[in-house]
Amino acid sequence: MTMINLKNIQKDMAGRPLFTIDRLVANAGDKIGVVGRNGAGKSTLAHLLTGTDRDYTGQIMVDEPVSYVAQIAPTFDQSGGQAMLTRIRQALSARPTILILDEPSSNLDETHQQWLINQLQRFRGLLLLISHDRQLLNAVTTQTWAVEHQKFTAYAGNYAYYQTVKAQQLATQEAAYQRQNTHQRELLAAQRQRNEKAQRIRKGNRRMSQVERAKTKATREATAAKMERTAKRMVARGQREPQVAKPFTTSGFKLVATDFPTFTGKTVVTGLNVTLAEYGKTLLAHADFQIRPHDRVAIVGPNGSGKTTLLRAILGGRVSGLRLAPAARVGVFNQDMTVLDGKQSVWQTVRQVSQLPDQTIRNVMGALGLPARFYPQLVSALSGGELVKLQLICILVGQYNVLMLDEPTNYLDVDALDALADYLQNYPGTVIFVSHDEPFRQAVATRVLQFETHQLVDPDKVVKAPQPVEADLAVLQFKYDQLMADPTSSTAAIQALRQQIDRLKA
């Protein structure tokens, strides 16, 4: 049963085309992933389907009421993850026929991410899932609506299938583009050869007499002109052939340590006997930890365990035993968009906070999804995801040697996620970050500090404490005495226990 039918849709934003839709159809029970870069129109499509945005051309048919859970909403003193969970639970409890979730896994810890997957797999209505979370999309969706180059296209399959199809299309386009370039070079070479031959004909043979040269001048000129015209028409036919566009690819860039302030010292953050509490809840108790220069530390733990509180405490400098090195120049990302001046252009906003060369800044902006066409735009005209990117870029290219990033992966599209991971892998300073995106953590982190029983534990360095030798000896000696007193004990068992005692004494 068809529940959503979109035909010949064109949506403009600020006087410019945002996206078009030739035809999209969704049936009862479908689970559709809606994917694309930030600002491409995914959330706008949700607003069209809910009826809150009626400024478009074309036909939209939605047969049932739509329940929409937005990506950004008031938290009412809850953490971002807790607020999102509350909204999702409320939506699911109403058993909607059509459900649209906009970035539902943002801010969710691993346990609640799996809970969300389980809930959506069991959902029996029509689901539209706007997300950049590859794990969530692959686990839940059976179709994909992708917006690329200002056009929505439907693909039969989850995100992994869509990526496979796109990779095949890109490879085919690249091969066709290379064949086209080779063909055009061959045509130009043939034209050049014919023009050169025409010039030789026009000049005539050096062995010709003056009389022969004069008699054949008109014929030679006509033959040469005809050859030049043929060569020109040949190239013109090649230019009229269907042209294959050059595949879009992004180029990498290299960061060097001299681009940023140097850090002097052996420790960036030191925690000795640190106790943290918030709203009467103990988060850390007598915790000891260190973060060293060039570490890329992921701080992990369940929602509400204290990750963001710890970051604020490190910056605040008011917690006993917690020390940030004086040489640390900290750039902080926390998705607070109020720090951005909406009246400035995108380029002005980034340029004024960085001393990096213009080209380096352009490379970072392009890789994270704010290329040259965004430079003159006002900050106030950006989408939520684009604002996240802009603030993140300002932190990345600023004059810092320590980056403190609280959920930098939320609302970033997949291309931007990969670019950010690559950037942080090559960043010459120290990175302290919180992220529930496990593939991103694995790609970036060199260390993990995990909230566990009011401590910060480094799982890679956890070693079970050996039992005291004296205690072991006492137990073994007691067993030995029992065996010696028991007439049924075997000689082999007694000898084995004796050897064990001797090894411990040694």
Answer yes or no: is 150 within a domain.
yes
Average pLDDT, integer, range 260-288: 90
| 401 and 362 assigned to the same domain | yes
The predicted structure's pLDDT at residue 48? 97
| 81 and 224 assigned to the same domain | no
3-state DSSP call for residue 399?
A: coil
The predicted structure's pLDDT at residue 82? 79
The predicted structure's pLDDT at residue 463? 42
Percent of the chain with pLDDT over 70: 90
Answer yes or no: is 478 within a domain.
yes
| 342 and 385 assigned to the same domain | yes
The predicted structure's pLDDT at residue 147? 96
Answer yes or no: is 248 within a domain.
no
Answer yes or no: is 250 within a domain.
no
pLDDT in tens, 1-40: 899 999 999 999 878 899 999 999 999 999 999 999 888 9
pLDDT confidence tier of residue 472, bands split at 50, 70 and 90: low
Q: Which range among 47-61, 180-194, 464-478 shows the weakest confidence by mean pLDDT?
A: 464-478
What's the CATH number where 396 sits? 3.40.50.300
The predicted structure's pLDDT at residue 461? 62
Cα(148)–Cα(166) distance, integer angstroms: 11
| 7 and 138 assigned to the same domain | yes
| 144 and 191 assigned to the same domain | no
Please spell the DSSP secondary structure of 112-164, one letter per residue: HHHHHHHHHHH--SEEEEE---HHHHHHH-SEEEEEETTEEEEESS-HHHHHH
Cα(205)–Cα(212) distance, integer angstroms: 10
Cα(428)–Cα(408) distance, integer angstroms: 18
3-state DSSP call for residue 506?
A: coil
| 276 and 401 assigned to the same domain | yes
Cα(472)–Cα(10) distance, integer angstroms: 78
Given a cut of 60, whether residue 250 has pLDDT beyond it is no
Q: Fill in the amino acid letter for 461.
A: K
Residue 217: name the closest of 233, 235, 205, 234 by CA.
205
3-state DSSP call for residue 186?
A: helix
Last-in-domain residue among 157, 186, 221: 157
Q: What are the Cα distances from residue 366, in Å, to 114, 245, 356, 391, 403?
A: 33, 20, 15, 14, 20
Residue the block writes with tokens 């120290």:
430
Give the CA angle between residues 439, 437, 312 to the nearest 5°: 130
Answer yes or no: is 251 within a domain.
no
Last-in-domain residue among 108, 126, 157: 157
| 105 and 182 assigned to the same domain | no
Query: Which helix H or strand E contains 73, and what residues bound it?
Result: none
| 406 and 289 assigned to the same domain | yes
| 326 and 441 assigned to the same domain | yes
The predicted structure's pLDDT at residue 335? 64
Answer yes or no: is 93 within a domain.
yes
| 412 and 279 assigned to the same domain | yes
Considering its fold, how many domains does the chain have in total? Answer: 4
Given a cut of 50, whether residue 247 has pLDDT beyond it is yes
**What's the mean pLDDT when you consider all of the chain?**
87
Tokens of 41: 């129109």
| 62 and 8 assigned to the same domain | yes
Last-in-domain residue among 443, 461, 479: 461
Answer yes or no: is 162 within a domain.
no
Could you tell me the residue range of the domain that residue 447 belongs to?
A: 257-461
Q: What strands lie across the sheet with 66-69, from one edge to the other?
A: 57-62, 2-13, 16-27, 151-155, 143-148, 31-36, 126-130, 98-102, 66-69
Answer yes or no: is 247 within a domain.
no
pLDDT in tens, 97-144: 999 999 999 888 888 999 999 999 999 999 999 999 999 999 999 999
3-state DSSP call for residue 48?
A: helix
- The full 3-state SS of 92-123, as one line of letters, equals HHCCCCEEEEECCCCCCCHHHHHHHHHHHHHC
Cα(443)–Cα(457) distance, integer angstroms: 20
| 331 and 414 assigned to the same domain | yes
Given a cut of 50, whether residue 467 has pLDDT beyond it is no
Residue 352: name the closest of 405, 397, 383, 404 by CA.
397
